[in-house]
């Protein structure tokens, strides 16, 4: 029996002028009268349109509503407890990016670029050749400086030999003084004897000869002493020339070192391990001192620079754990660590720092750069590239007061 037939029979049973349908086997001719039979079809259609909902469904709806309400209260309570015990200690920001100490390689000397054997995206090791300039002029300059230095070193050697000769001359003059003094002593004695014997045995010519010998030997002593002084002065002059020559040699050595450095700078090498990017020149180009050659990115030492609001820094300290989510790699979470907080906000280090002492003032929440350390094994993968956007989440539950306590201990 269908629902529609059951509803029709229920309505017919409630109406006094309609007899309920009975089964065929229990129905007699007395039960069916000609006056009641036409009324059954007329009451069937309006009974179906006005059929009320069964009363037994209302308890089910109440149970569903109570279940939904209980689930909502349970979920809200759990989320509230989770925020109170864990969530309120986490601070996060999406104003964070991957950074690295990128080196812009430039030419130190001028010249034509002979070769640039690297391409963008190529990994290089420390000391690998990035570019090579034509070094012919620098080789000639180095050779010229070395030749000048060799000539000056020969001059130093010559002056050294002259100094040795002058010192020998000093010794010779000193010996001549002794000889001259001996002659002077002998001549003076001869003159004294000649003077005593003049009256009886010595002729006047002999006396004059003795006097002349005495005067000559005395003059020889004075000449030898003067020659000794001159020889010593000559030694001093040679020593001064030696010092001058050595100073000039030092300058020439500096010139040689400079020429050698210029020759070395003709080859531009990688200062550290990294990846080449933003290559700006090719072979045959003329570069001047300071011309940009390429950029070198050290992917093994990347870091995260996150700009947190000043209202998020109350409990943030170096050493706290950080969860890093990179937009380029969804689904992967990287564990980091707070390395340092900037000594000033970003606006202070800007080209034109704000001056709030004049004019109208509108308070703006400032942001402080925070450096986040990336584990070496993660950086070694080379996936983090400078400029990528990340979302960082700092756990401030541990070590929130440690740096302040250490600072206070140092001040005491």
Backbone angles phi, psi at 99, to 5 degrees: -130, 160
- Given the candidates 1.10.540.10, 1.10.3720.10, 3.40.50.720, 1.10.287.620, the CATH classification of the domain at 136-265 is 1.10.287.620
Report CA-CA distances (Å) from 297 to 116, 123, 276, 304: 17, 9, 6, 15
- Give residue-wise pLDDT tens across range 73-83: 888 877 777 66
What's residue 1's pLDDT? Answer: 45
Domain residue spans of the chain: 3-52, 56-85, 103-130+268-296, 136-265, 298-354+362-411
- Asked if residue 55 has pLDDT above 80, the reply is no
Q: Which of 30-34, 337-341, 388-392 has the lowest mean pLDDT?
A: 30-34
User: Would you give the DSSP letter of residue 379?
Assistant: H
Contact 305, 383 (CB under 8 A): no
Contact 109, 233 (CB under 8 A): no
What is the DSSP track for 66-96? HHHHHHHHHHHHHHHHHHHHTGGGEEEEEEE
Task: Give the best-scoring range by mean pLDDT among 133-137, 164-168, 174-178, 187-191.
Answer: 133-137
321, containing H or E segment = strand 321-326
Which token pair is 174? 């000193």
Report CA-CA distances (Å) from 114 to 108, 133, 211, 283: 15, 5, 90, 5
What's residue 2's pLDDT? Answer: 44
Overall fold of domain 103-130+268-296: OB fold (Dihydrolipoamide Acetyltransferase, E2P) (2.40.50)
- Mean pLDDT, the chain, rounded, equals 79
- In sequence order, the β-bridge partners of residue 326 are 390
Contact 399, 317 (CB under 8 A): yes
User: Would you give the DSSP letter of residue 54?
Assistant: P
- Asked if residue 191 has pLDDT above 70, the reply is no
Which token pair is 55? 């009363």
- Give residue-wise pLDDT tens across range 338-390: 999 988 888 888 888 877 777 677 788 889 999 999 999 999 998 899 999 99
What's residue 27's pLDDT? Answer: 47
DSSP helix/strand/coil, 133: strand
Contact 386, 304 (CB under 8 A): no
What's residue 11's pLDDT? Answer: 47
Contact 275, 120 (CB under 8 A): no
What's residue 194's pLDDT? Answer: 64
- What average pLDDT does this structure show over 43-58? 52
Q: Which residue in this structure is represented by tokens 């109406």?
A: 15
Banded model confidence at residue 199, pLDDT cuts 50, 70, 90: low
Contact 294, 105 (CB under 8 A): yes
- Asked if residue 104 has pLDDT above 70, the reply is yes
DSSP helix/strand/coil, 44: helix
Cα atoms in the 13 Å half-sphere on the side-chain side of 391: 12
The reply to whether 298-354+362-411 shares the fold of 136-265 is: no
- Asked if residue 405 has pLDDT above 60, the reply is no
Return left, alpha or beta for 270; rule: phi > 0 is left, psi -120 to 50 is alpha, else beta.
beta
- Asked if residue 86 has pLDDT above 90, the reply is no
Instruction: Calculate the CA dihedral of residues 275, 278, 281, 282 and round it to 10 degrees.
Output: 60
What's residue 212's pLDDT? Answer: 74
CATH number 2.40.30.170 given to 298-354+362-411: yes
Banded model confidence at residue 19, pLDDT cuts 50, 70, 90: very low
More confident residue, 206 or 4: 206
CA–CA dist 272, 376 (Å, integer): 16
- What average pLDDT does this structure show over 195-216? 65
- Asked if residue 35 has pLDDT above 90, the reply is no
What's residue 235's pLDDT? Answer: 86
- Asked if residue 295 has pLDDT above 60, the reply is yes
- Give residue-wise pLDDT tens across range 212-258: 777 777 777 777 778 888 888 888 898 899 999 999 999 999 999 99
Per-residue three-class SS string for the chain: CCHHHHHHHHHHHHCCCCCCCCCHHHCCCCCCCCCCCCHHHHHHHHHHHCCCCCHHHHHHHHHHHHHHHHHHHHHHHHHHHHHHHCHHHEEEEEEEEEECCCEEEECCCCEEEEECCCCCCCEECCCCEEEEECCHHHHHHHHHHHHHHHHHHHHHHHHHHHHHHHHHHHHHHHHHHHHHHHHHHHHHHHHHHHHHCCCCCCCHHHHHHHHHHHHHHHHHHHHHHHHHHHHHHHHHHHHHHHHHHHHHHHHHHHHHHHHHHHHHHCEEECCCCEEEECCCCCCCCEECCCCEEEEEECHHHCEEEEEEEHHHCCCCCCCCEEEEEECCCCCCEEEEEEEEECCCCCCCCCCCCCCCCCCCCCCCCCEEEEEEECCHHHHCCCCCCCCCEEEEEEECCCCCCHHHHHHHHHHC
């Amino acid at each position: 029996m269908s629902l529609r037939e059951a509803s029709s029979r229920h309505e017919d049973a409630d109406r006094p002028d309609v007899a309920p349908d009975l089964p065929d086997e229990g129905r007699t001719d007395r039960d069916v009268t000609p006056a009641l039979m036409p009324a059954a079809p007329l009451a069937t259609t309006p009974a179906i349109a006005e059929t009320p909902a069964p009363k037994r469904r209302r308890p089910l709806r109440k149970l569903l509503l109570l279940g939904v309400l209980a689930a909502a209260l349970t979920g809200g309570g759990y989320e509230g407890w989770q925020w109170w015990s864990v969530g309120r200690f986490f601070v996060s920001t999406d104003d964070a990016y991957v950074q690295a100490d990128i080196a812009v390689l430039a030419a130190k000397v001028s010249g034509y670029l002979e070769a640039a054997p690297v391409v963008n995206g190529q990994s290089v090791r420390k000391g690998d050749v990035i570019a090579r300039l034509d070094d012919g002029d620098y080789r000639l300059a180095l050779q010229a400086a070395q030749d000048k230095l060799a000539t000056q070193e020969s001059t130093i050697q010559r002056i050294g030999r002259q100094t040795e000769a002058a010192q020998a001359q000093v010794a010779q003059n000193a010996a001549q003084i002794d000889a001259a003094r001996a002659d002077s002593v002998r001549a003076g004695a001869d003159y004294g004897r000649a003077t005593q014997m003049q009256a009886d045995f010595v002729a006047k010519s002999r006396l004059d000869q003795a006097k002349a010998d005495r005067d000559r030997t005395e003059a020889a002593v004075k000449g030898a002493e003067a020659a000794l002084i001159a020889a010593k002065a000559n030694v001093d002059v040679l020593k001064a020339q030696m010092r001058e020559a050595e100073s000039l040699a030092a300058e020439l050595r500096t010139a040689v070192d400079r020429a050698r450095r210029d020759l070395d700078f003709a080859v531009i090498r990688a200062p550290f391990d990294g990846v080449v990017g933003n290559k700006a020149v090719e072979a045959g180009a003329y570069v001047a001192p300071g011309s940009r050659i390429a950029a070198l990115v050290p992917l093994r030492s990347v870091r995260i620079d996150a700009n947190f609001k000043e209202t998020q820094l109350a409990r943030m300290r170096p050493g706290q754990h950080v969860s890093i989510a990179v937009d380029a790699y969804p689904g992967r979470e990287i564990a980091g660590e707070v390395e340092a907080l900037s000594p000033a906000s970003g606006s202070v280090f800007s080209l034109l720092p704000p001056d709030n002492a004049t004019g109208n003032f509108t308070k703006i929440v400032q942001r402080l750069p925070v450096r986040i350390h990336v584990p070496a094994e993660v950086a070694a993968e080379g996936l983090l590239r400078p400029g990528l956007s990340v979302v960082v989440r700092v756990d401030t539950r541990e070590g929130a007061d440690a740096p302040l306590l250490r600072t206070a201990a140092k001040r005491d």
